[in-house]
Amino acid sequence: MHDDRTLIEARLKRVLDERIRPAVYPESVPLEVAVWHAPGEPVPVAEGLAAEPQPVEVGARWGAPWGTSWFRVTGTVPEAWAGKTVEALLDLGFDENMPGFQCEGLVYRPDGTPVKGLNPRNQWVRIGTPVEGGEEVRLHIEAASNPVILDYHPFLPTQLGDKDTAGSAPQYTLTRMDLAVFDETVWQLVLDLEVLGELMAELPVDSARRWDILRAVDRALDTVDLQDVGGTAERARAQLAQVLAAPAVPSAHRISAVGHAHIDSAWLWPLRETVRKVARTTSNMTALIEDEPEFVFAMSQAQQWAWVKEHRPEVWARVKKAVAEGRFVPAGGMWVESDTNMPGSEAMARQFVHGKRFFLDEFGIENEEAWLPDTFGFAAGLPQIIKAAGSKWLLTQKISWSQTNKFPHHTFQWEGIDGTRIFTHFPPVDTYNCSMKGSEIAHAAKNFKDKGRARHSLAPTGWGDGGGGTTREMVAKAARLRDLEGSATVEWETPRAFFEKAEAEYPEPPVWVGELYLELHRATLTSQAQTKQGNRRSEHLLREAELWAATAAVRTGFPYPYEELDRIWKTVLLHQFHDILPGSSIAWVHREARATYRRLAAELTAIIESAQRALAGEGTTELVFNAAPHARHGVPAGGATTPAVAGGTTLTARENGGFTLDNGRLRIEVDARGLVVSAYDLAAGRETVAPGQAANLLQLHPDFPNMWDAWDVDEFYRNTVTDLTEAESVLPGEDGASVRIVRAFGDSRVTQVLSLPADEGRLVIDTEVDWHETEKFLKLAFPLDLHAERYASETQFGHFYRPTHTNTSWEAARFEACNHRFVHLEEPGWGVAVVNDSTYGHDVTRTVRSDGDHGTTTTVRVSLLRAPRFPDPETDQGVHRFRHALVPGAGIGDAVREGWRVNLPERHLTGAHEVAPLVTVDDDAVVLTAVKLADDGSGDVVVRFHEAHGGRARATLTAGFQVAEVTVTDLLERPLSAAAAPDRDGDRITVRLRPFELVTLRLRRA
């Protein structure tokens, strides 16, 4: 037989595009349109409906950037259409390739009832099926003219990312506003041909199944009368029935489709627009649930559910109904789909506490899965947090974006730093915006790495990023793929149903130990420094507020600020979303974030000061409050007293310029360039700085990645570096016991103060940068005379080791990594820590010296600032302040202690008396991360702690109050039935911990 395959495939494409798809709507009449442009920010629905619009024609330009326009469309269904299905086609000027990234609308009836959302892939509104003819149509559209930030030529700097700079030029052209007859038979034919055509393209050319489909398609196209598509569509569908009915082979891959709309809580749009995106999407999905009996939709991020409840009660009612039916499923159990690298221990725990509690309180639903499809890598401490929250599964897709190494599994056990394992799935469809294309389904089946042992995978199905969700076309395709020869099978299921099946069929999956590092988007650890600083400081202020408020409540009856703390926690958690904290959102988002963090700092400081005043009373005794989990200067952890008198620090001039700082523990040599050429540990008799090198070295790199400017730093940035060694001045600091260095470079200026606190083994480096560079990367380097093949980075509830070498492509790809408060390097018996108060990105490299001693230089570099121009063209311009400390002679315990110390400075207050800690622990390896009152208002004291050194610990917790009962709980403060109560002797509680083990105790007061 002659090969006519390409001829028929080309025929299918043209006939579909030019004849059959247009015949879905064979008749139409225009609607009358009027518009009212809301001034400023969006208005309440009632105000938009009541406004008096002005007539406007199709073809008119509309929509200033970030504006809201209320369209009113009116018309009459023609009498001749009686008995037919009629829809309104409402095209605001959409580009169908940009769902979620441009203008959108929410359709209302005149009484304010929401109908459904409009987006580039969902432009229809059902008027009637069938209609009687003569019906009056009146609809209102709340249309958001969100500008296109990520365009076909991506990553171009734009001022459109902030309403203050975006201008007022109309963004869109009103394209179509019609009533139209909807021919469902033709629409079904389109879906038949699309599914078969897409499947055919994925099958081997020499397979019989491909040719069976080809011949059936050819017959169907012969049957269609191109001048009367509607009249011949049913007969054409009959030609396809047999190939569509052929069942899948028994070994076919099985896909659980989950309706989905990944909605970034902020990204290329501000938070206030996400509120509306969620309303549009949930309106669409509840409508689709009513129309499609098998469809199941899952939505994560409790914050987004809370927005619907607060801002769109009429939509919320529909959502609650669909949840009750089991069709609209709360997923993930987190407040937002947060970044997981940078949030601190308690913040990561509270993501689950607040997320799971919302779904429990509203629906009585317990989430057992963490749902994080788009997060930029996963910290090694996360498995234990997921388990401690009462969950046991994790889903993500983002690791498939890694540039260098392909992850070896799709379903596996992920083991965290404490040994906890979480059953984890990476959907092999490699997208969280699956649209049921044949290429996507075939890719999932071919790509699945666990063939022969497992056969189930999950496909999050629906338009996302900017929302939109699943379409009726996706549902129709999934119905055809339910059991179709040549394809994987597709079935709508909840996340829970998928995980239960996957876990049952794969009882012994492979294990991956340690972090799930994304080999991409590494620069998100540094971009938007003030957003990151606001997060870090908010976390520590919350710790202080809870600690001192709880202590004051127990001791003095101080009113514990439950509601304020709950609200503030939720605000901080929201800003840990994976495009806010990582610094990858538009200027508007980060401008608002900076203002929010300032407001929260003021609120939390007021709570702290009020509680401390209640505790200290009125008096003249000089007190120091210590919120850190370790004693310092004689002040106990969690208490307040008059500190011990410290020794002094001497500052002397060096012969060749510069200064020497000496406090009896460290001797620091600062040369005439303001660089640290020696950091000598006097007790150990050991030098810290590598021979011939200088620490406190600022280094500047060009920074223009190939893609994803705010997200990425590419390895070639290291090829060019400028050491900033020229100093304008190197002078004694104002206190006479520090060194002040001023440098200028480019259009920027740096002022540093180096100080050596009395009786402490750390060099403190305060850096102020007035930053006005573009596409540059600023690092702070510490070359250390230390031989170490691995180093520790703090992560949630512990630390994680990474190699310093690049033996394999996996290690080489980790050229920029995350730490929390410290990194630590060690030779047996002696180590060095570098601690910080607000930075996350860093790199560690090693080289063997060629100076004759062949020693190893291991260099730690802290990432300070970047200057990408997309999506915020003014990223990080302005003044920034950082604090770091170099700690020679540090063991891992010293690194832990100094990391807390630099983030929780002492607070000074005059009062009447000392304050004893509410809870103490007798082992520095056991770190209290939270001391608070129980969230349920019972007055119970909740204490959360973990083993922080990586070893076994036996410690005694002593409560500073009478304890009636001790209960081991999960993160949500619920009793753990499987956990044995710890040994207790009155108010003394003995605990035994595994390395990095996390424990929460609830102490009922007598």
Mean pLDDT by 10 residues, the chain (1006 residues): 90 98 98 97 96 97 98 98 98 96 97 96 97 97 98 96 97 98 98 98 97 98 98 98 98 98 98 98 97 97 98 96 98 97 98 98 97 98 98 97 97 98 98 98 98 98 96 98 98 98 97 98 98 98 98 98 98 98 98 98 98 97 97 96 87 96 97 98 97 97 98 98 98 94 98 95 98 98 97 98 98 98 97 98 96 89 98 98 98 98 97 97 98 98 98 98 97 91 93 98 96
Nearest one of 644, 628, 886 to 758, comparing CA atoms? 644
Task: Say which residue the tokens 């710790």 belong to.
Answer: 543
Nearest one of 393, 320, 392 to 359, comparing CA atoms? 320
Answer yes or no: are the C-beta atoms of 195 and 481 closer than 8 Å. Answer: yes
Nearest one of 304, 294, 378 to 341, comparing CA atoms? 378
Q: Is 795 exposed, middle or buried (0-12, 13-18, 19+ CB in 10 A)?
A: buried
From residue 297, give the alpha-carbon distance in Å to each of 4, 123, 605, 696: 42, 20, 42, 53
Nearest one of 89, 98, 134, 141 to 117, comparing CA atoms? 141
Structure token digits, residue 259:
């309706």
Please, which residues have CB within 8 angstroms of residue 731's CB and are 6 or more apart in sequence?
739, 740
Dihedral sign for Cα 225, 226, 229, 233, please: positive
Answer yes or no: are the C-beta atoms of 399 and 430 closer than 8 Å. Answer: no
Q: Which helix (H) or strand (E) holds 661?
A: strand 659-662
Give helix then strand counts, H and E, for the chain. Answer: 18, 53
Q: Which helix (H) or strand (E) holds 245?
A: helix 229-245
* 3 state DSSP class of 911: strand
- Measured CA to CA, the distance from residue 394 to residue 406 in angstroms comes to 19
What are the residue numbers of the active site?
374
Please, which residues have CB within 8 angstroms of residue 310's CB and are 6 or more apart in sequence?
none
From residue 774, give the alpha-carbon distance in Å to each of 419, 528, 870: 44, 13, 11
Please, which residues have CB within 8 angstroms of residue 85's CB and are 6 or more apart in sequence?
126, 128, 129, 130, 131, 181, 182, 183, 184
Ramachandran assignment for 734, one of left (phi > 0), alpha (psi -120 to 50 degrees), beta (any other): alpha
Q: Which helix (H) or strand (E) holds 50?
A: helix 45-50
Answer yes or no: are the C-beta atoms of 336 and 351 closer than 8 Å. Answer: yes
- Measured CA to CA, the distance from residue 439 to residue 75 in angstroms comes to 41
- Measured CA to CA, the distance from residue 237 to residue 184 in angstroms comes to 12
Answer yes or no: are the C-beta atoms of 856 and 790 closer than 8 Å. Answer: no
Structure token digits, residue 712:
């990425």
From residue 546, give the alpha-carbon distance in Å to each of 610, 799, 900, 919: 12, 24, 16, 13
Alpha helices in 526-667 (DSSP H): 529-556, 562-574, 587-616
For residue 972, the model assigns a pLDDT of 98
- Measured CA to CA, the distance from residue 635 to residue 625 in angstroms comes to 7
Nearest one of 266, 95, 238 to 871, comparing CA atoms? 266
Please, which residues have CB within 8 angstroms of residue 686's CB and are 6 or more apart in sequence?
680, 830, 888, 889
Strand partners, 887: 833
* 3 state DSSP class of 733: coil
Answer yes or no: are the C-beta atoms of 361 and 319 closer than 8 Å. Answer: no
For 864, what's the count of Cα atoms within 13 Å in the CB-facing half-sphere? Answer: 28
Per-residue burial over 206-235, b = 16 or more CB atoms within 10 Å of its CB, e = otherwise: eeebbebbbebbbebbebbeeeebbebbee
Q: How many CB atoms lie within 10 A of CB 818?
A: 26
- Measured CA to CA, the distance from residue 589 to residue 162 in angstroms comes to 8
Nearest one of 859, 711, 896, 874 to 785, comparing CA atoms? 859
Please, which residues have CB within 8 angstroms of residue 807's CB and are 6 or more apart in sequence?
none
